[in-house]
Structure 1
Amino acid sequence: MSKTIQAADLRQRVASIIRAAGSSEAEANTVAANLVMANLSGHDSHGVGMVPRYIDAVLEKGLTPNASVRTVVDLGTLLTLDGQRGYGQVIGEQAMRLGIERAKQHGNCIVALGNSHHLGRIGHWAEMAVSQGLVAMHFVNVLSRPVVAPWAGGDGRFGTNPCCIGIPVQGREPFLLDFATSRVAQGKMRVAHNEGKEVPTGYLIDEFGRPTTNPGVVVVPQSNGLFGALMTFGEHKGYGMAVACELLGGALTGSGTWHRAPDAKRAVINGMLTVLIDPKRLGTQESFSQEAQAFVDWVKQSPAAPGFEGVMVAGDPERKARVARERDGVVVDDTTWAEIGGAARKVGMKE
């Protein structure tokens, strides 16, 4: 079972819980708006279902309310930033604003952000950049229980390690590629588990390294206390990209990589390497605009394959989902809604 909730009501509910956990009103509103935007965009895995985990992380002191980004190194076009374990929805916005300002000033900027709590949907940060006419590339690692198996491996060794690329296309909607290097996001398995659904073959292995369609193997401990693992997309290719994100987002930023035994802590720490480029400063702006428009139009002119409405480019599904969900509301399954209620009670709120 599930319930449908309007976005404004959902934002209000989430903000009240985050505020009760110690955040300022401004921070609570920022976190709530970001999470609900993920739901509106069709990515329930990064939406309001994260609230229970955030509250647990605050109570465990792995997530610090009202923290701000701290500048460690500033070389103009190179910024090293420490998120101080603050809410990623706030830290990410602060980091991107600093990077965007420098990229517009100098033509480019590389931002190494470490030690941020969960940054949420990485596409949100690319959207900030493309709205200012900038190209953005993001490489992210995840310090939490390792839930993804390496190619040819039999247990989890790293996180879902997302990669995101945003490219403005003059006269068209921007290209926004945002994907986990696992076959599917961990949060989507949480949603499927809460809804009592199985998933297609090829997504998961169980705690013994065997293929399974049960999403619960990466959500709750199994009979032997162990977890299963997600598979990478594209076999060795996704695995290689996941390692690259770990090395760039974790090692290069100073945020750290995963190389220890799993634990039960609820905090999710992200490192993110961001590269921002202003096309206007490259001397190719005119041809870039013309060629980008021409290519996007060319691709979309391909006849629809059987069973499809037509060709889309990255970013189109999210934009389409936002229109529908803003109009019709966001569907939240009863298990997730009950978990959100439980999080509210943990911080002293009444139903």
Structure 2
Amino acid sequence: MKKTRQAPELRAQVATVLAASGSSPEEAASVAANLVLANLSGHDSHGVGMLPRYVEAVLEGGLKPNTSVQVVLDTGSLLTLNGQRGYGQIVGEQAMGLGITRAQTHGSCIVTLANAHHLGRIGHFAEMAVAQGLVSLHFVNVQARPVVAPFGGADGRYGTNPCCIGVPLKGREPFVLDFATSRVAQGKMRVAHNEGRRVEPGTLIDEHGLPTTDPGVVVVPQSHGLFGALLAFGEHKGYGLAVACELLGGALTGSGTWHQSSNPDVRAIVNGMLTILIDPAKLGTQATFEQEALAFIDWLQAGPVAPGFDAVQIAGDPERAYRQQRQTEGIAVDSQTWQEIVAAGHKVGVTLPD
């Protein structure tokens, strides 16, 4: 059972809970807006359904409200930053703001961000960069319960480790490629479990390492308290990219990599992110870049459309279509997710409507 809610209503309700859990009104409004934007973009896995876990992380001390990014090293075109366990939506935007300014000055900037709490939808940061005419690349690792099995492995050993690339297209909507290196995001399994749905074969293995379509194996403890695991997309290729995200987003940033026993009671999610920003205007190839990029996109979309598809799309098109639709029609939230949000509000003294 789902109920449709309008974005302004959701933003206000989420912000109220965040403020009650310790955030300033400004921080609460910003984090709430980011979560609702994920829902509007079609990524419910990174939307308001994350609120209960955020509240629990604050209460356990793993997420620290009203914390800003710390500049550890600034050489101009190199920034070493520490999120200090602040809200990823806040310290992530702060890191991108610093990096964008440096890239506009120097032509490029490499930004390492360590110890950010859950950064949310990484595509948001790429959208910040392309809006300023910059190319951006992001490699992220996830330190929480390991939910993805290595290729050839039979249990979870690392996180969903997203990768994101943003490319501006002159006079067009940008190319924004944003994906988990697991076949699907962990949050999508939470949504499927709450909705009582099965998932596609080839997505999951259970706690015994056997194939399953039950998303609950990575959401709630199974036999002997064990969990199942997600599989990497593209077999060894997605697995290899996930390892690269761990090494670049975790090891290189100083945020750390996952190599310990899992504690399912810990609710904090810690991300490290390596961001590379490039200004084509200062690279000396902008005119060719703009011309060739558009020519290639036009070439892709000029071809025949396969049966079952309406058009040949590029990365970013589905999110933009969802935003247009959901701004008008509202955001559907399943009853289980909403009850979890209501319960999170109760923990900090906020009563939301059932």
Category of TM-score, reference length = shorter chain: over 0.9
Secondary structure at the residue paired with 1:332? strand
Map 1:233-244 to 2 at 5 A: 233-244=233-244
Give 2:124's aligned residue.
Answer: 124
Give 1:327's aligned residue.
Answer: 328
Secondary structure at the residue paired with 1:224? helix
Map 1:74-93 to 2 at 5 A: 74-93=74-93
Q: Distance in 1 between matches of 2:210 and 2:323?
A: 37
Q: CA-atom RMSD, angstroms?
A: 0.5
Secondary structure at the residue paired with 1:58? helix
Q: Distance in 1 between matches of 2:316 and 2:114?
A: 26
Offset at 1:171? 1.4
Offset at 1:70? 0.2
The answer as to whether partners of 2:18 and 2:28 remain within 8 angstroms in 1 is yes
Q: Distance in 2 between matches of 1:200 and 1:320?
A: 24
The answer as to whether partners of 2:68 and 2:83 remain within 8 angstroms in 1 is yes
Residues 258-317 of structure 1, C-alpha deviation per residue, up to 9 Å, x if partnerless? 000001200000000000000001111111110011111110112110011010000000
Q: Distance in 2 between matches of 1:350 and 1:50?
A: 18
Offset at 1:348? 1.2
Give 2:54's aligned residue.
Answer: 54
Secondary structure at the residue paired with 2:199? coil
Offset at 1:224? 1.7
Q: Distance in 1 between matches of 2:223 and 2:75?
A: 52
Q: Distance in 1 between matches of 2:267 and 2:301?
A: 42
Offset at 1:350? 2.3
Give 1:107's aligned residue.
Answer: 107
The answer as to whether partners of 1:171 and 1:293 remain within 8 angstroms in 2 is no
Give 2:272's aligned residue.
Answer: 271
Secondary structure at the residue paired with 2:225? coil
Q: What one-letter code is carried by the residue in structure 2 that aligns with 1:222?
A: Q
Give 1:25's aligned residue.
Answer: 25
Give 1:137's aligned residue.
Answer: 137
Give 2:339's aligned residue.
Answer: 338
Q: Distance in 2 between matches of 1:32 and 1:274?
A: 24
Q: Distance in 2 between matches of 1:25 and 1:78?
A: 32
Residues 87-135 of structure 1, C-alpha deviation per residue, up to 9 Å, x if partnerless? 0000000000000000000000000000000000000000000000000
Q: What one-letter code is carried by the residue in structure 2 that aligns with 1:281?
A: K
The answer as to whether partners of 2:162 and 2:245 remain within 8 angstroms in 1 is yes
Q: What one-letter code is carried by the residue in structure 1 that aligns with 2:321?
A: K
Unaligned runs of 5+ in 2: none
Aligned residues: 351
Q: Distance in 2 between matches of 1:152 and 1:115?
A: 30
Secondary structure at the residue paired with 2:111? strand
Q: Distance in 2 between matches of 1:172 and 1:290?
A: 12
Map 1:9-20 to 2 at 5 A: 9-20=9-20
Q: Distance in 2 between matches of 1:310 and 1:304?
A: 6
Offset at 1:232? 0.1
Q: Distance in 2 between matches of 1:349 and 1:200?
A: 37
Map 1:140-159 to 2 at 5 A: 140-159=140-159
The answer as to whether partners of 2:207 and 2:223 remain within 8 angstroms in 1 is no
Q: Are residue 287 (structure 1) and residue 288 (structure 2) matched? A: yes
Q: Distance in 1 between matches of 2:76 and 2:170?
A: 28
Q: What one-letter code is carried by the residue in structure 2 that aligns with 1:239?
A: Y
| TM-score computed with the length of structure 2 as normaliser | 0.99
Secondary structure at the residue paired with 2:310? coil
Q: Distance in 2 between matches of 1:304 and 1:201?
A: 27
The answer as to whether partners of 1:145 and 1:262 remain within 8 angstroms in 2 is yes
Q: Are residue 201 (structure 1) and residue 201 (structure 2) matched? A: yes
Q: What one-letter code is carried by the residue in structure 2 that aligns with 1:326?
A: Q
Q: Distance in 2 between matches of 1:200 and 1:99?
A: 39
Give 1:349's aligned residue.
Answer: 350
Give 2:175's aligned residue.
Answer: 175
Q: Are residue 318 (structure 1) and residue 302 (structure 2) matched? A: no
Q: Are residue 303 (structure 1) and residue 304 (structure 2) matched? A: yes
The answer as to whether partners of 1:45 and 1:187 remain within 8 angstroms in 2 is yes
Q: Distance in 2 between matches of 1:223 and 1:243?
A: 28
Q: Distance in 2 between matches of 1:124 and 1:300?
A: 25
| TM-score computed with the length of structure 1 as normaliser | 1.00
Q: Distance in 2 between matches of 1:296 and 1:13?
A: 40
Residues 306-350 of structure 1, C-alpha deviation per residue, up to 9 Å, x if partnerless? 011010000000000000000000000000000000000001112
Secondary structure at the residue paired with 2:222? coil
Offset at 1:223? 2.4
Unaligned runs of 5+ in 1: none
Secondary structure at the residue paired with 1:141? strand
Q: Are residue 5 (structure 1) and residue 2 (structure 2) matched? A: no
The structure 1 segments of at least 4 consecutive aligned residues displaced by more than 4 Å after TM superposition are: none
Residues 143-202 of structure 1, C-alpha deviation per residue, up to 9 Å, x if partnerless? 000000000000000000000000001011100000000000000000000000000100
Q: What one-letter code is carried by the residue in structure 2 that aligns with 1:300?
A: Q
Q: Distance in 1 between matches of 2:332 and 2:295?
A: 37
